[in-house]
Structure 1
Amino acid sequence: MTSAIPDAELRRIHESFSGFHRRQADRVVAFPGGFAALDDRYTHSRGNNHLVVDGATDPEALPARAEELLGHLAHRLVFVVDDEVAAACRGPLERAGYSHAATYLMRHTGPVPAHGGARQVGLEELRAPATEAWHRFAPGVSDEEVHHLVERRRARLGAADDVRFLASYTEDGEVASWVDLYLDPAAGIARIEDLVTAEAHLGRGHAGRVLDTALHLAAEAGCDLRFLSANKANWPHRWYGRKGFVVVDTVHSFERG
């Protein structure tokens, strides 16, 4: 499932990954080798408050830098894009109490599917099903935390030139599955993220419909480079592999709290 791609293609993916986090942030604080992406509206959201290391940095200084920039939060999260930099940072971060995880970057290399029948929706249509899903994924979290995780989608409207939320509906008009599509037609890049299916509608093909729709629309917009991220430890990356995606790189994350 792992595939080598030209360095230029990988750079495009890395630039898109960093740009995604920069563009949706309410404020960005640069440091040597990376930046902090911060948003005080969603302090419970790790996806909106973290460090991204996308260049050469001082590994020994990273734990203190995370404390300086993320010290107002209950969590610490650091993404490291390059494998060698991540290997150098791992020791200092683990000694500071961080745990390591890996996320695959997966590029679509299969044929472009026909439109899957999902349609573009607004934040309002996704609020209720997303709230229910977050309570399922993170049982025991507070209503305030879930509110931040749901409402952060508003910040993601700024994460790309063209942002679309897509949903597949049941015959009864319920939202069954949904996904985010981030299009940068000028760069020819599309990112697909946060594909979720409501528990009551699992196993009925809705996830495939929203993914097919996202891939079709991305190709229609002229985006030849279509990718997503998937946690290495969980099963969805195998499903994405059956849908024509291959692993082209790994982003490392270090988390505490």
Structure 2
Amino acid sequence: MASPAHDPELPRVHRFLIDFHRRQAGRTADFPGGFAALDDAYAHSRGNNHALVTGPTDPEALPGRLDALLGHLPFRLLYVLNGEVAAACRGPLERAGYTTGGTYVMRHTGPVPAHGGARTVEAEALRGPVGTSWRGFLPDVPNEVIRHLVERRAARLRAADEVRFLASYTEDGEIAAWADLYLDREAGIGQVEDLVAARAHRGKGHAGRVLDTALRLAAEAGCGLRFLTADTADWPHTWYARRGFTPVSTVHVFERA
């Protein structure tokens, strides 16, 4: 899936993402060209413990800086927003044992759908379904890891001015799919993240209902710029493309276990 050469809204998306990572973090540590976002309460969560390169940095010094900042963790995770910077850092990072990947930033360019019928719920309502989902993805990890992945949703409440957790229910009252919605009404930006359908209820339209609800709520909040992120190596980005999303950039991901 090719990305446009330039999207005028991309700087706003990047600023939103940078603010999201800083605000969600329990603590941050700056280095030349970026910062580490850390949260000791969720030490097993890569989403809460990583580094983000936001501008020019020293590629040769980067692996050592990551070791200094993330050395207390059993993993290293780095996001790089700029493609040219990522290309310059790839060699030093790969020599230091990092693998490479990517995440599409996808902007909603289609029509705003009708409300899908999903509900706004409290984080506690998602605890059981999210735990079951993560256990299915990670059957062999310790329970402490699953606990961190479930409870980290509490940190997301500080990641944006307005945070909503959305869920689609079955006729029997069971949560079948869910997602997070982050809104900045003043900036006119909405982000949809962590859209998941429970394994037992996939293929029944629940994920689409949650996504439609999120897009409608964002539009009603005055957010003309709506986006999400999707792994470049996994299938959901093709599903998002069919639902009106267009890739506008790639966030480059470097990881070492």
Shared fold by TM > 0.5?
Answer: yes
Pick the TM interval, shorter chain: over 0.9
Spell out structure 1 runs of 4+ moving beyond 2 A.
1-8
Q: Which amino acid aligns with 1:88?
A: A
Q: Which amino acid aligns with 2:220?
A: E
Deviation (angstroms), 1:19: 1.1
CA distance in 1, matches of 2:111, 2:252: 29
Distance 1:139 1:9, change over 3 A: same
The DSSP-based 3-state class of the residue aligned with 1:41 is helix
TM-score (norm 2): 0.98
Q: Deviations over 1:136-167 (max 9, x none)?
A: 11221110001001100000000100000000
Query: Which residue matches 1:53?
Result: 53
Query: Which residue matches 2:71?
Result: 71
* Contact 1:2–1:246 (Cα < 8 Å) also in 2: no
Structure-to-structure mapping, 1:239-254, within 5 angstroms: 239-254=239-254
Query: Which residue matches 2:182?
Result: 182
* Contact 1:93–1:254 (Cα < 8 Å) also in 2: yes
Distance 1:2 1:110, change over 3 A: farther
Deviation (angstroms), 1:124: 1.0
Query: Which residue matches 1:158?
Result: 158
Q: Which amino acid aligns with 2:39?
A: D
Structure-to-structure mapping, 1:40-189, within 5 angstroms: 40-189=40-189
Distance 1:68 1:3, change over 3 A: closer
Deviation (angstroms), 1:209: 0.1
* Contact 2:180–2:195 (Cα < 8 Å) also in 1: yes
Q: Which amino acid aligns with 1:90?
A: R
CA distance in 1, matches of 2:174, 2:91: 47
Is 1:28 the counterpart of 2:28 in the alignment?
Answer: yes
List alignment gaps of at least 5 residues for structure 2: none
List alignment gaps of at least 5 residues for structure 1: none
The DSSP-based 3-state class of the residue aligned with 1:37 is strand
CA distance in 1, matches of 2:139, 2:93: 28
CA distance in 1, matches of 2:177, 2:46: 23
The DSSP-based 3-state class of the residue aligned with 1:29 is strand
The DSSP-based 3-state class of the residue aligned with 2:255 is strand
CA RMSD, aligned part only? 1.0
The DSSP-based 3-state class of the residue aligned with 1:59 is coil
Q: Which amino acid aligns with 1:234?
A: D
Q: Which amino acid aligns with 2:206?
A: H
Deviation (angstroms), 1:123: 1.2
Query: Which residue matches 1:256?
Result: 256
Deviation (angstroms), 1:205: 0.2
* Contact 2:24–2:159 (Cα < 8 Å) also in 1: yes
CA distance in 2, matches of 1:88, 1:218: 36
Query: Which residue matches 2:238?
Result: 238
How many residues matched? 257
Identity %: 67
Q: Which amino acid aligns with 2:147?
A: H
Distance 1:250 1:205, change over 3 A: same
Q: Deviations over 1:68-88 (max 9, x none)?
A: 000001110010000000000
